[in-house]
Amino acid sequence: MSYHYQSVLEAIRSDVAPLRRAGSVANYIPELAKINPNKFGMHLRTINGQDYAVGNSGENFSIQSISKVFALAMVVSLIGEKIFERVGVEPSGSSFNSLVQLEYEKGIPRNPLINAGAMVVCDVLIEQLRKPKKEILEFVRLLANNKKIGYNERVAASEKTFGFRNAALANFLKSFNNIHNDVGDVLDLYFHICSIEMSCKDLATAFLLFANHGTVMTTSESILTKSQTKRLNALMQTCGFYDEAGEFSFTVGLPGKSGVGGGIVAVLPHRYAVATWGPRLNARGNSVMGMRALELLTTKLGSSIF
């Protein structure tokens, strides 16, 4: 089937072109509002290392919440499923930065892919690593096979300056003793991982980890067990798209994760990883063009996990 991936991607680019001006960028993070909102890129990489791409697939952008998957994978590789004693595995069904839900559930975030859950993950990374920011970046570079991946310090600073709700969430978690380290340190790490810049090609390469039983494609290094990979894929399937995860499962049918930088990445286990980028978001914080592109991909290929 791989022989026609390129033609499918070309057709998808044409099909989503009318959506180029639908939605709006995440202007509550001022640095993200400076991005040209009309760009679109898509990159698919098979587990055999074949690449297919269209549009702005090689251009770096802020991956934002997609980074939560990398942080979670690293934590699971370090301490296993003990992390789920401090964070749940259920879909949130509410906003990704809800304070109400966190209070209702007494400081245990609903899952590790919403903001509060990712902060708990960051807290564990600070406990486990000597140089968390450096080591997380090295981990992402390993998965993507790209040593040039880095933080965008302007984006991190912008998030820190305007991240009042995230600061509230972190302090709220601290009040429930579910943050053990200094709140400022946890927020600094959280803002930095969200500021990581990658391209669609980088993301598709990195996410092959989840299509290949937890083994890095380029080095054959085993990062996660098959069971851990299965569980992380399940979390992406049910929790990867804020309160639109059900819609993504319904229309696309792949495990994946989105970010308010306009990126989306998804995997078809044993086959491929695919990433899209379109900065304009819908009301739930997901890329308008990316959501439609991935729906078209699984429809045209006749393949999903279901």
Would you give per-residue pLDDT tens digits along the chain (306 residues)? 445 899 999 999 999 999 999 989 987 788 888 889 999 999 999 999 999 999 999 999 999 999 999 999 999 999 999 999 999 999 876 667 777 788 888 899 999 999 999 999 999 999 999 999 999 999 999 999 999 999 999 999 999 998 899 999 999 999 999 999 999 999 999 999 999 999 999 999 999 999 999 999 889 999 999 999 999 999 999 999 977 888 999 999 999 999 999 999 999 999 999 999 999 999 888 999 999 999 999 999 998 888
pLDDT at 2: 45
Q: Residue 198's beta-bridge partner residues?
A: 61
Domain ranges of the chain: 2-301
pLDDT at 3: 53
**Which CATH number fits the domain 2-301, given the four candidates 3.40.430.10, 3.40.710.10, 3.40.50.720, 3.90.550.10?**
3.40.710.10
pLDDT at 171: 95
Separation of alpha carbons 299 and 274, rounded Å? 14
pLDDT at 104: 84
pLDDT at 76: 98
Separation of alpha carbons 306 and 301, rounded Å? 13
The pTM is what? 0.95
pLDDT at 1: 47
Separation of alpha carbons 302 and 221, rounded Å? 31
